[in-house]
């Protein structure tokens, strides 16, 4: 039922004047639409393998199962990247639409293909043009309550390690140390989160020679830099 509907959606312009003779492009189109609808069917099937029947979504349990099937730890950053690719809204859950979006984009209609697509996905995410978006996504993904704007520092430490640890090991380690010691800030908001990313990209580390607190850096970074400089002297 749906298949044909989606098929006709895809092939917007059918040659209705001469239904008998198909042009090569028509053939291709029909063939590919048939293929894509088959693909979609498989993707949906995969979804229902992991989804919770009552909620109609893949829930945390389902995700864990998925992860073990892919032989990836559920705390692995690549799962977060997958969520990004899916544009998943709620942490720990995938809706059918999100699932479809992600797997279609990755051209994976089976879990094994999905697993194989992970390295490529990682490369894509780490591309500078994408990474900032991924970085900001990962913060928002962790906001669980409706009006929530900030995340507690403990979770931030974990998130930072996960998302930036491989790229900016030193900065992340020191910043995490600082966050654990200080008591001024109990939560971090998106502005501060993004500020840290800019900090990693622009500021020489660990000498911090080009950091200027008179500029618009978030205050928490000014204090972090002061703390670092005190440590270093």
Partner 1 sequence: MGGSLYQRIEKECEEHISAALRSLVGQSPDLVVFLSLVEKCWQDLCDQMLMIRGIALFLDRTYVKQNSNVRSLWDMGLQLFRKHLSLAPEVEHKTVTGLLRMIESERLGEAVDRTLLNHLLKMFTALGIYSESFEKPFLECTSEFYAAEGMKYMQQSDVPDYLKHVEMRLHEENERCFLYLDAITRKPLIATAERQLLESHIPAILDKGFMTLMDGHRIEDLQRMYSLFSRASLDSVLEESFSKNEAFCNTIKDSFEHLINLRQNRPAELIAKFLDEKLRAGNKGISEEELEGTLDKVLVLFRFIQGKDVFEAFYKKDLAKRLLLGKSASIDAEKSMISKLKTECGSQFTNKLEGMFKDIELSKEINESFKQSSQARMKLPSGIEMSVHVLTTGYWPTYPPMDVRLPHELNVYQDIFKEFYLSKYSGRRLMWQNSLGHCVLKADFPKGKKELAVSLFQTVVLMLFNDAQKLSFLDIKDSTGIEDKELRRTLQSLACGKVRVLQKFPKGRDVEDDDSFIFNEGFTAPLYRIKVNAIQMKETVEENTSTTERVFQDRQYQVDAAIVRIMKTRKVLSHTLLITELFQQLKFPIKPADLKKRIESLIDREYLERDKNNPQIYNYLA
Tell me the CA distances in angstroms from 64 to 48, 57, 169, 200, one per residue in order: 15, 13, 27, 32
- Residue closer to partner 1 by CB (options 62, 218) is 218
Q: Helix or strand or coil: residue 12? A: coil
Return the structure tokens found at 228: 């670092």
By CB under 8 A, the count of residues binding partner 1 is 13
Site for partner 1 in 180-199 (CB under 8 A): 189, 191-192, 195, 198
Residues 6+ apart with CB under 8 A from 30: 7, 11, 22
Draw the binding track, 149-168, toward partner 1 (x: CB under 8 A; -: no contact). x-------------------
Residue 226 CB neighbours (<10 A): 13
Q: Helix or strand or coil: residue 186? A: coil
Beta bridge partners of 152: 187
Residue pair 57/95 in contact by the 8 Å Cβ criterion? yes
- Residue closer to partner 1 by CB (options 102, 218) is 218
Among the residue ranges 8-16, 40-48, 62-70, 212-220, the one whose residues contact partner 1 (CB under 8 A): 212-220
Choose which of 216, 230, 232, 233 interacts with partner 1 (CB under 8 A).
216
Q: How far is the CB of 129 from partner 1 (least distance, A)?
A: 15
Choose which of 5, 49, 170, 219 interacts with partner 1 (CB under 8 A).
219
Return the structure tokens found at 105: 């984009």
Return the structure tokens found at 17: 């004047």
Choose which of 12, 214, 230, 233 interacts with partner 1 (CB under 8 A).
214
Q: How far is the CB of 81 from partner 1 (least distance, A)?
A: 23
Site for partner 1 in 93-152 (CB under 8 A): 149
Binding site for partner 1 (CB under 8 A): 149, 189, 191-192, 195, 198, 213-216, 218-219, 222
């Amino acid at each position: 039922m749906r298949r044909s509907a989606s098929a006709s959606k895809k092939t917007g312009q059918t040659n209705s004047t001469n239904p008998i003779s198909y042009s090569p492009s028509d053939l291709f189109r029909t063939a590919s639409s048939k293929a894509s609808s088959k693909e979609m069917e498989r993707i949906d099937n995969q979804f229902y393998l992991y989804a919770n029947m009552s909620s109609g979504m893949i829930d945390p349990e389902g995700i864990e199962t998925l992860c073990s099937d892919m032989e990836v730890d559920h705390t692995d950053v690549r799962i977060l990247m997958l969520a990004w690719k899916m544009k998943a809204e709620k942490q720990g859950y995938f809706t059918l639409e999100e699932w479809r979006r992600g797997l279609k984009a990755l051209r994976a209609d089976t879990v094994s293909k999905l697993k194989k697509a992970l390295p490529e996905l990682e490369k894509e995410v780490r591309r500078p043009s994408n990474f900032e978006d991924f970085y900001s996504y990962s913060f928002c993904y962790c906001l669980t309550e409706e009006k929530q704007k900030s995340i507690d520092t403990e979770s931030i430490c974990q998130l930072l390690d996960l998302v930036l640890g491989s790229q900016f090991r030193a900065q992340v380690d020191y910043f995490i140390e600082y966050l654990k010691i200080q008591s001024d800030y109990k939560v971090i908001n998106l502005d501060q989160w993004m500020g840290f990313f800019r900090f990693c990209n622009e500021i020489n580390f660990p000498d911090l020679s080009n950091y200027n607190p008179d500029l618009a850096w978030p205050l928490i970074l000014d204090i972090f830099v002061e703390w670092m400089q005190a440590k270093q002297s």
